[in-house]
Each structure stands twice: as structure tokens, then as C-alpha cells.
């Protein structure tokens, strides 16, 4: 930790490409489409990448003092990215923090090491006058109530999380993005399977407006365009039938 120098990520080529992409998309669509600027990674996830996931898991038990120092260091970098992406004109920003999920650490460890720093990122986004979304992969049933407390305006969750529990906990407090299986359904499934899963989600969230139909995680590049079109088509027609007709 003593050897880590402060980093200005604006000079990184890949960050510049990321920012340019946000600007191009937003300038092209204007206000026609609500553009989400994804600012991976959240501090806990970034720290795990700096340290290596194996070393980071051991540190959580053996080197708590340095864990918090690295989280503070990572927070500075993650916060820079949020501010840079916000300046491109996007309509919202988001972070991924999947190593902080129950697949790797306990809910108690999540509350101690990850949640406070996710709150910081939500605060930074709100200082930029933008809504903030938090994504965690896997089954997040055991930390759903904690994720609501981060101050995030939305959470994006994987297909392994119980949609009924999500609805019961989140419907009045936070917008839910998800949670169609990106691989088994959207990438490898048929349009008929996509429609089935989309309608299942719509039936659960039929009485709450705090919902954005989406995959539970990143959509693979091999995904057939007709599956994406089916997801959009079924969702749009449902909304037309419900709110216009």
C-alpha cells in the first residue's frame, strides 16, 4: 500500500475510449433513449482486481487494516470514473460489485467491507445530479435489504435471485433492473423462451412501475438479434396494453 501512487485515470487510453463511446451514443440519441453509463468497478470489486481475488479473500481475514486502506484507494479511482462518465452527458451511472456478493463473501462481510463504499459511490453519483445503479451477480437473496440501504436508485440482479423476494423488498423503494438469464435464455434460447421469461417478469412487476426489463448481467456477443428484438417487443406491447389502451 505504501508504494501505490495516486492515479489520474483520465490519461488512460481505455478510459478515453469508454468516455468517447458514451459521448457518441448520447449525442446520437439525445433524449430519445435513456443512456446508462457503466462505471465498473465498484471499490470492493476494483480492490479484488488490484490484489487478485485469491489474495483479496485472504486479506479480508488476515489484513483488515490494509483492506480498508486499499478500499479507500479504490474508492478514489472508482469515484473518478463516475465523475468522468457523468460529464459525458449520460442519464445515469452504474457500478458492478460482483465479488462482494454471497457467492464469495458472507452478508456480514458485505455489510462491513462493501456496503459503506457502495454508499460512497451512490453519493458521488448524486453529487453529479445523476441516478445510480448497483449490480451484483449471483444469488443475492441474503443481501437484498442491505443493497437497498446503499442509497442506490436502482439495482441490477442476476437470474439466480428470487424475483418474488426482489419485488417484495424493493417495489416501494428502489428500481429493479433484470433479471433474464443472459446466457441460457437471451444468448442460447429461442425467441419463444425469451417471451416466456419476459412475461413471467412482467406478471410479477405488473403492479409496480419501479422496473426495467433487462438481462441479469452482461449479454454475450453471440446473442441473436431476434432474441433482443423479442425482449423489447414483448415489453413494449405489454406497456402499451397496460397504460395506453
At residue 193, the pLDDT reads 97
pLDDT in tens, 26-66: 999 999 999 999 999 999 999 999 999 999 999 999 999 99
Q: Alpha-carbon distance 13 to 129, whole Å?
A: 27
Determine, yes or no, domain membership for 195. Answer: no
Domain that holds residue 88: 35-157
Q: Count the domains in the chain.
A: 1
Q: Cα torsion at 10, 21, 175, 77 (round to 10°)?
A: -10
Q: Alpha-carbon distance 87 to 81, whole Å?
A: 10
Q: Alpha-carbon distance 130 to 39, whole Å?
A: 13
DSSP string, 24-56: HHHHHHTTSS--EEE----HHHHHHHHH-HHHH
Determine, yes or no, domain membership for 88. Answer: yes
Determine, yes or no, domain membership for 206. Answer: no
- CA 8 to chain CA centroid, nearest Å: 24
Determine, yes or no, domain membership for 151. Answer: yes
Helices (H), 183-224: 191-204
164 near 205, Cβ under 8 Å? no
Residues contacting residue 232 through CB under 8 Å, at least 6 positions apart: none
Determine, yes or no, domain membership for 214. Answer: no
Determine, yes or no, domain membership for 11. Answer: no
How crowded is residue 17: how many other Cβ atoms within 10 Å of its Cβ? Answer: 10
> Is pLDDT of 222 > 60?
yes
**Residue 81, domain CATH:** 3.20.20
Model confidence at 208, pLDDT cuts 50, 70, 90, reads: confident
Determine, yes or no, domain membership for 39. Answer: yes
Determine, yes or no, domain membership for 237. Answer: no
At residue 2, the pLDDT reads 82
pTM for this structure? 0.93
As beta bridge partners, residue 135 has 96, 156
What cell was used for 122?
451512490
53 near 92, Cβ under 8 Å? no
pLDDT in tens, 2-25: 889 999 999 999 999 999 999 999
Amino acid at each position: 500500500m505504501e508504494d501505490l501512487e495516486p492515479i489520474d485515470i483520465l490519461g488512460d487510453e481505455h478510459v478515453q475510449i469508454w468516455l468517447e463511446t458514451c459521448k457518441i451514443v448520447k449525442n446520437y440519441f439525445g433524449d430519445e433513449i435513456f443512456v446508462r453509463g457503466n462505471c465498473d468497478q465498484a471499490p470492493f470489486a476494483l480492490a479484488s482486481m488490484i490484489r487478485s481475488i485469491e489474495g483479496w479473500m485472504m486479506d479480508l481475514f488476515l489484513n483488515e487494516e490494509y483492506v480498508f486502506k486499499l478500499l479507500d484507494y479504490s474508492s478514489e479511482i472508482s469515484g473518478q470514473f463516475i465523475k468522468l462518465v457523468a460529464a459525458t452527458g449520460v442519464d445515469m451511472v452504474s457500478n458492478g460489485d460482483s465479488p462482494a456478493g454471497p457467492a464469495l463473501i458472507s452478508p456480514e462481510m458485505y455489510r462491513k467491507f462493501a456496503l459503506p463504499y457502495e454508499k460512497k459511490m451512490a453519493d458521488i453519483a448524486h453529487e453529479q445530479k445523476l441516478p445510480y445503479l448497483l449490480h451484483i451477480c449471483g444469488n443475492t437473496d441474503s443481501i437484498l435489504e442491505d443493497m437497498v440501504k446503499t442509497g442506490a436508485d436502482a439495482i441490477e440482479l442476476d437470474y439466480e435471485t428470487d424475483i418474488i423476494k426482489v419485488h417484495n423488498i424493493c417495489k416501494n423503494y428502489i428500481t429493479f433492473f433484470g433479471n433474464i438469464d443472459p446466457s441460457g435464455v437471451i444468448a442460447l434460447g429461442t425467441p419463444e423462451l425469451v417471451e416466456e421469461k419476459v412475461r413471467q417478469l412482467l406478471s410479477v412487476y405488473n403492479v409496480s412501475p419501479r422496473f426495467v426489463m433487462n438481462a441479469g448481467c452482461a449479454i454475450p456477443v453471440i446473442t441473436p438479434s431476434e432474441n433482443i428484438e423479442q425482449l423489447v417487443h414483448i415489453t413494449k406491447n405489454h406497456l402499451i396494453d397496460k397504460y395506453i389502451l
